[in-house]
Amino acid sequence: MLTGALIGLYVVCFAACNLCFKLAVIRSGGVATAYFIAGNVLGFGCTLLITFALKRANPNVVYAVCVGGGFVLLQLASLAVFRQPLSGLQWLGVGLVGTGVLLLQLKA
């Protein structure tokens, strides 16, 4: 249960970190700096979270779920926040990654 929470927090922090970096490059001045700092703090949090998750579970599953789950959530968040559309083929790829993450969890 703790491992699942660590991985879930990693996925959220990964997406938030990347959103902060995107916001940092489209803003200017102090706001951009604040987003840049927030992105780095969240990124450091990702490092800690994945380290603790790796101590408790199979590295193959942890890496796959963290990276795959983070990618899927980031695509959904980018669509919601920045209105960045994906083509049907790109959505198929996101869906396949998400399906792979779910299948890994069923096996684990």
Answer yes or no: are the C-beta atoms of 17 and 46 closer than 8 Å: yes
Give per-residue pLDDT as tens, 56-102: 998 988 998 999 999 999 999 999 999 988 999 999 999 999 998 88
Answer yes or no: are the C-beta atoms of 43 and 17 closer than 8 Å: yes
Q: What is the pTM of this model?
A: 0.88
Q: How many domains does the chain have?
A: 1
Give per-residue pLDDT as tens, 15-59: 999 999 999 999 988 999 999 999 999 999 999 999 999 999 989
Domain hosting 80: range is: 2-107
